[in-house]
Every structure is written in structure tokens, then in C-alpha cells.
Amino acid sequence: MNACVDLRSDTVTRPTAAMYEAMQRAPVGDDTYGEDPTVNALQARIAGMLGFEAAMFVSSGTQANLCAVLAHCGRGDEYIVGQMAHCYRWEAGGAAMFGGVQPQPLEHAEDGSLPLAAIAEAIKPDNEHFAVTRLLALENTLGGRCLPDAYLSAATVLARQHGLSTHLDGARLFNAATADAAASPKAAARRIAGHFDSVSVCFSKGLGAPVGSALCGSAAFIARARRVRKAAGGAMRQAGVLAAAALHALDHHVERLAEDHQLARLLYEGVCDRPGVRAQAPQTNIVFLDLVERGQDTARALQQHLQARGILVSMLYGQLRLVTHRDVDEAGVLRVLDALREFLRR
Ligand SMILES: *Cc1c(COP(=O)(O)O)cnc(C)c1O
């Protein structure tokens, strides 16, 4: 049996030998005193790359979003967010649990955006009956889909006109940027981030670092976010060993995200014409397969069929999710396609 092909998520990527070397070489200090040179270098690097004054290194994307929402909003305030957004649905209610911040979730349009009219309608007037609406939080990519630049511009302008702050959950910002054929990934990431007051980015997904995310914003915003991080128990010490992995990822793993996108495309093209399979062409590194026409339990049966052949995929909302990343190569994807076709022939 070959090694397992793990398509459950791009979080499963392992550090490369070169990344381990960078971690071992990293100069470190006590980051809670602001004295870890590698953390400081990473924070300056990502802030500069995305066009912000300051950045803060944190242990996870969830913590980056928590610090962002609590630095933008006070108790009893609310943030407008998508029903399927990570910082509403997938973060254990942290903003409410720790910050007393109320989400105002909105349904997504077909393309993953939040309709401008729905945002405008959800912003509460200044009236003692209502929570104060403080923040619009968007996500890019969302389920692997990219929000168009014109939409990001219009939505953030609308938010600003109503005095709201804006946050982007950019866990996969560099995947969104890679999908933008008009610019280099780093230039595109900067342009996308430029619409927002704050942006979070994950190093631990497609970028392949073992741990870590960054939150970027103004110096005053990051100072508030650092207090939240401290209260959440997230201030670290010799975190430079982790920051070194993130720096290595920014140097060596951004441009190669295009390969993940090509492999996702190969997966999609290999199965999209099979009877009973509904799939949308992937814009980045995530393929969803909807098998409802073949009956309720088909997705579960296919997941088990794949697992028996050493292939792991996720089940989300009754669909199979296949995520490509740097630890899966073309041979792995071809193996997955063989196993998928074998099942779908039935
Ligand atoms: C993965 C992810 C996060 C953060 O996840 P952690 O596991 O906490 O690092 C946040 N937002 C989105 C959109 C994500 O995909």
C-alpha cells in the first residue's frame, strides 16, 4: 500500500527539511517582552507585505479572528458576518463567549458574497433598542471561492459610510491572491488586504507551516489586539521557532500554491462528467463533490471506499470536500481519480 493521500484539509501539511532547518537556526527571545527577533521580523514582514502598520503573530486563525473581533467591538456590540463564515460558525462562539459580542449572520449569495442590500439593512440605526453595529467581517477565500475585487471594494465602502470597521478573515488569502491571474500572488494579496482595516492570514494551511497565523492592522488596533491575545492566554515566549517556519513559508511556499490549484482542477475535471456528480470548477485548492442524485448515503459510502484505499477526504454538509496542498502530488491525485472512477462506475 502506498502512503496515505490526505485531502481532508491543507492543514495536514508537514514542515519540510528546509523549514525545520530555518526553525533550528532562528534567533529567539521572550516575545512577551517584544524581544524575539524572529517574531518581530515576521510581524514586520507580513505587515509590510500586506500594507499595514503592524501585525501580531498568534497560534491559530481562530485566535487571530477572536482578537480582531474583540479589538474592533466592545460588549453588546455586534458584527455582521456570513452564515458560513469561519468566525461565526466554526469558532465555538468565541466572540460571544469571551467578548459579549453578538454576531449578526447573513445568508450568502450564490458566489459566497453577502449582498450589499442585506448588509445595509442589517446595520442598526442609533436607537436604544438595538445593539451597536461595529464591524463587517468578510472571508476570502470562502469554501475555496474568491470574492471579486469590485465586491470587496463596494462592501467595505458601504461599511465605512455607516461608520463600521472592516475585517477580512484571510486564512487562505494567498490562495485567493494566487487565483488572481492579473497580478503576482503577493501583489494581489496586498490589493485584496488593502480594502480592510484588519486582515488575518494562516501560515499553517497551504503555506505549510506547522503552527501560526498573523493579524494585521493599524498600530493602535494591534495594541488593543495584543491585550486580547494576552487575556486569551495566547502571548508566547520563544515563539521565534514557529515564526521562522512562517517566514520560510512566505519566502518559499507562496508561488507554489498555483500547483495546488492545478491539481484541484485535475481532480475536478476527472470526475465532473460522471453521472450523478455535481461539482463546481474550483477557483483555488478546494473541490466539493455533491452526490445527492445518487442517494442520501452515497457520499458516506464513497468516503469509506476511498478510506479503504488509503485516501482521506472530509464530509461537510453532506458533500465530500477534497483539498489539495503541498504534501499531495500529481501521482497522488491520479490515484484518487482512479479510486473515484472505480466507485462512480457503479
Ligand atoms: C482554518 C480557518 C481559520 C482558522 O483556523 P485555525 O484552525 O484556528 O487556525 C479561520 N478562518 C478560515 C476561513 C479558515 O479556513
| DSSP designation for 197 | S
Q: Which residue, by CA, sits nearest to atom 3 of ligand 1?
A: 61
Do 79 and 105 lie in one domain? The reply is: yes
Do 47 and 183 lie in one domain? The reply is: yes
Q: Is residue 110 part of a domain?
A: yes
pLDDT for residue 182 = 87
Q: Is residue 2 part of a domain?
A: no
pLDDT-above-70 percentage for the chain: 99
Q: Is residue 3 part of a domain?
A: no
Q: Is residue 8 part of a domain?
A: no
Do 266 and 157 lie in one domain? The reply is: no
Count other Cβ atoms within 10 Å, centred on residue 162: 14
Residue 178 clears pLDDT 60, i.e. is over it? yes
Count other Cβ atoms within 10 Å, centred on residue 289: 23
Q: Is residue 283 part of a domain?
A: yes
Do 228 and 282 lie in one domain? The reply is: no
The Cα 206–Cα 117 span in angstroms is 34
Q: Report, as an integer, the average pLDDT of 143-157.
A: 97
Do 248 and 270 lie in one domain? The reply is: no
Of 219, 252, 285, the residue that ends a domain is: 252
Mean pLDDT of all residues belonging to the chain: 96
- Would you say the C-alpha torsion 118, 122, 123, 124 has a positive or negative sign? positive
Do 54 and 83 lie in one domain? The reply is: yes
**Cβ–Cβ under 8 Å, residues 240 and 37:** yes
Q: Is residue 11 part of a domain?
A: no
Residue 260 clears pLDDT 90, i.e. is over it? yes
| pLDDT confidence bin for 37, thresholds 50/70/90 | very high
| pLDDT confidence bin for 304, thresholds 50/70/90 | very high
Of 252, 278, 306, the residue that ends a domain is: 252
Of 252, 277, 309, the residue that ends a domain is: 252
How far does the centroid of ligand 1 lie from the alpha carbon of residue 85, in Å?
A: 10
Residue 79: CATH number of its domain: 3.40.640.10
How far does the centroid of ligand 1 lie from the alpha carbon of residue 12, in Å?
A: 13
The Cα 133–Cα 280 span in angstroms is 35
Q: Per residue in 209-227, pLDDT tens?
A: 999 999 999 999 999 999 9
Instruction: Give the binding-site residues of ligand 1, using a 6 Å CB cut-off.
Output: 60-62, 65, 86, 139, 169, 171, 202, 204, 213
Q: In one letter, which amino acid is 21?
A: E
Do 269 and 316 lie in one domain? The reply is: yes
Q: Which residue, by CA, sits nearest to atom 5 of ligand 1?
A: 61
Do 208 and 318 lie in one domain? The reply is: no
Provide the domain count of the chain.
Answer: 2
How far does the centroid of ligand 1 lie from the alpha carbon of residue 68, in Å?
A: 13
How far does the centroid of ligand 1 lie from the alpha carbon of residue 93, in Å?
A: 14
pLDDT for residue 296 = 76
Residue 189 clears pLDDT 80, i.e. is over it? yes
How far does the centroid of ligand 1 lie from the alpha carbon of residue 86, in Å?
A: 6
Q: Report, as an integer, the average pLDDT of 265-284.
A: 95
Name the residue of 86, 146, 205 to mutate for ligand 1: max ligand atoms within 8 A of Cβ. Answer: 86
The Cα 204–Cα 178 span in angstroms is 17
Residue 326: CATH number of its domain: 3.90.1150.10
Q: Is residue 12 part of a domain?
A: no
3-state helix, strand, coil in the chain (%, to 5): 45, 15, 35
Domain limits at 303? Answer: 256-344
Q: Report, as an integer, the average pLDDT of 84-108.
A: 98
Do 248 and 260 lie in one domain? The reply is: no
Do 320 and 185 lie in one domain? The reply is: no
Q: Report, as an integer, the average pLDDT of 314-326.
A: 95
The Cα 164–Cα 156 span in angstroms is 9
| pLDDT confidence bin for 293, thresholds 50/70/90 | confident
| pLDDT confidence bin for 2, thresholds 50/70/90 | low
Q: Is residue 69 part of a domain?
A: yes
Do 182 and 282 lie in one domain? The reply is: no
Do 245 and 262 lie in one domain? The reply is: no
Q: Which residue, by CA, sits nearest to atom 10 of ligand 1?
A: 61
Q: Report, as an integer, the average pLDDT of 3-16.
A: 96
